[in-house]
Structure 1
Amino acid sequence: MNERLNRLANLPLRDNLQGLEPYGAPQIDVPIQLNVNENTHPLPAEVHRAIVEEVTAAAVGLNRYPDREFTELRERLATYLGHGLTPENIWAGNGSNEVLQQILQAFGGPGRSVMGFPPTYSMYPLLASGTDTAYIAGQRSPGYGLTAADAAEQVRKAAPNIVFLCSPNNPTGTALGLDVVEAVYEAGAASNTIVIVDEAYAEFAHTGTPSALSLLPGRERLIVSRTMSKAFALAGARVGYLAAAPEVTDAIRLVRLPYHLSAVTQATANAALKHVDALLANVEDIKVQRDRIVNELTRMGLSPASSDSNFVFFGGINDTGAIWEGLLEAGVIIRDVGIPGHLRVTAGTEAETTTFLVRLEELLNQAPPTL
């Protein structure tokens, strides 16, 4: 590996890419994979059948380019999101990461900046580097919270071209209040700042948790991004999307690659959107397991964060490496997010969750937490 890195260093990479490592969680083949926030429930049989039928039909025309405007998919996504949105408000790409990258290609770039509030989604600074956009790391409170006043003041001082607000936040799982979004949007008025609310896990939020979709009317600089990877169990299909003012989607068209969404991708997403109820039934089951994890970790003396996502971020671990390794030996992989004393676990099926909780408690009893 060192030899390959040395050879890479000899290439004329852009300065801001020198020394970076590619993003990626460990891909280890173990029975219970709870480290990358996938939906561990398989697709319902009726959804699987619908996808096979749609893809089979699409295969007949694979000698032709797909619908460049993915018209049916935009219509279905607008209907799914509601809030008075129309297809003109919708854009989609190969996963929400591509959508976010396209936003930075359109509104970021050399001489421009994007602000995030770590700990948050670790792809944000990598997306910034990939588009040669300066990354500004904002500050959170000691408990990893973010208030409207604090966030707005930081945006006013930094005057970034773009702001990332992750809600529910990854890795902490907590949702932001709409007051934070509103305050950041207003604080960015003088600098004409684009505000992106990344709602990748929105479907897992507790009942009554508002979405930034409700704030879109009259706010042409606000973008809400979503994904079909999580709630729709389509991580392998790579479908992400955004909702924004029509002029934002027009801006994205300036940087998109032609025919970027394949006919197979469009067919898969459209089939899934015809069976929303079946897919969201699994979401409700995942939320039950998520809340179960929070309750059980609390009983064990740990400090789980209240979660509006399909994962739980928890502290109180004295030796995160030992706990991670001990779980792996039992066939369970979770995520070490690099924050001392903390780990993150995806809410799996009932059986997967039980295995995780039983093994974790055994490990804790061997080495009680001290943080």
Structure 2
Amino acid sequence: MSARLDSTGLPLRPDLRGRTAYGAPQLDVPVRLNTNESSYALPPAVAAAVTEAVAAVVPGLNRYPDRDFAALRDALAAWLVRSTGVAVAPDEVWAANGSNEVLQHLLQAFGGPGRTALGFTPAYSMHPIISASTGTSWVDGTRPGSPGDPFDLTADSAAEQARRVDPDVVFLCSPNNPTGTALDLDVVRAVHEAAPHAVVVVDEAYAEFARPGTPSAVTQLDGRVRLVVTRTMSKAFAFAGARLGYLAADAAVTAALRLVRLPYHLSSLTQAAAVAALAHADELLSTVEALKEQRDRVVAGTAALGLRPVPSDANFVLVGGFADSGAAFEALLAHGVLVRDVGLPGYLRMTAGTPAETDALLAALGDVLGDVRGAVVGGQDAPAGGGCLATRVER
């Protein structure tokens, strides 16, 4: 067979050969705490408003949607102004089908063959995956850790790595996935200064869950044309099924993204649903405090069981202390509880859910640890930034 063809006889790109498709298990189990979705359904009033808004555009589906999604950009800009206190204009906002497509647009515009992206592992695995899909070389940076946080990323360490790599794109996560930890803004500023040729992307998918006093990188946009802050409606807004991600950046960035997006990439249905949802932001975000309470219960409850949770600013907790995290994952699944094996030895990631789901999670952990403590608990945590199978981490 020709070397240009893979084992199936297809001329698949050589860099894609041998790879497996990305995705978390979608299993029908009583307690699903593996993908950081909200466990709360849309409030009835919001569901009705979204249904009405979508129904209103259905008769016009014979026409293409608004290519520049003006009404949605207005609504997103208004929400950012309200939630961050920063004056964000509609032409400084971009949106797409989930924040993953937003990230793809950024890499299509600012990455590509001959260019390099830098991220700090462990972090969100779609960053290197989307980089690879756009032909962008990926460099795995590290998190040196600290006595209080094994996955800490300091400004000095991040800046030193950025200077050494001289990347075209840098990814920072705040709060970080899978560790749940937020970044100090001095890290953002230091990386922006140390990587003078790079677009610096701060992924704030979980920003609404951060502990009080945690600032947003949106506050750093003024005067920094290369800084981008991405967000999503999938998590705090309980809108994962609608697929709506967005970013805030200088208007020059959003103008560049028009060069790479597919025509009419946001459907009329998506635009209408998102605008209606944003009009009910307070109702959609009403469960955030409840989820934060359950997150903190998971931290306290797992610590009481002798495990080592990482303090979290997200809607999930990374829990260490498992001698065999794979065995623990399977044992929890046998108890009807699905968590996330992120491929980081000694750790499992657990989404914050309803009080009943937290009860079930902690009860299952108690049973699992009591049954197989010698096989599952007591191992050494993996060193920060080392040995992480980052491709197994997902939102």
TM-score, structure 1 normalization: 0.96
Partner of 1:370: 378
TM superposition shift of 1:10? 3.1
Partner of 1:85: 88
Give the SS at the match of 1:236: helix
CA deviation vs aligned residue, 1:228-253 (integer Å, no higher than 9, x gap): 00011111110000000000000000
Q: Distance in 2 between matches of 1:246 and 1:370?
A: 51
* AA of the residue aligned to 2:180: G
Aligned residues: 364
Partner of 1:156: 163
1:1-371 matched pairs, under 5 angstroms: 9-82=8-81, 83-142=86-145, 143-189=150-196, 192-368=197-373, 369-371=377-379
* AA of the residue aligned to 2:32: Q
TM superposition shift of 1:7? 6.4
Q: Distance in 1 between matches of 2:9 and 2:191?
A: 42
Quick check: 1:162–1:196 contact (8 Å CA) kept in 2?
A: yes
TM superposition shift of 1:8? 5.7
Q: Distance in 1 between matches of 2:261 and 2:237?
A: 24
TM-score, structure 2 normalization: 0.91
Q: Which runs of 5+ in 2 are unaligned?
A: 380-395
Quick check: 2:95–2:244 contact (8 Å CA) kept in 1?
A: yes
TM superposition shift of 1:367? 2.5
Quick check: 1:9–1:18 contact (8 Å CA) kept in 2?
A: no
Q: What is the Cα-based RMSD across aligned positions, in Å?
A: 1.1
CA deviation vs aligned residue, 1:11-44 (integer Å, no higher than 9, x gap): 2222221221111011111121100111111111
Quick check: 1:185–1:193 contact (8 Å CA) kept in 2?
A: yes
Q: Distance in 1 between matches of 2:115 and 2:293?
A: 43
Q: Distance in 2 between matches of 1:127 and 1:108?
A: 10
TM superposition shift of 1:169? 0.5
Q: Could you tell me the percent identity over the aligned residues?
A: 57
CA deviation vs aligned residue, 1:318-368 (integer Å, no higher than 9, x gap): 222222112112211000001111000000111111101111111112223
Q: Distance in 1 between matches of 2:16 and 2:60?
A: 40
Q: Distance in 2 between matches of 1:343 and 1:53?
A: 40
- Shift of the 9–111 alpha-carbon distance from structure 1 to 2, 3 Å rule, reads farther
Q: Which runs of 5+ in 1 are unaligned?
A: 1-5
Quick check: 1:33–1:333 contact (8 Å CA) kept in 2?
A: yes
Quick check: 1:316–1:370 contact (8 Å CA) kept in 2?
A: yes
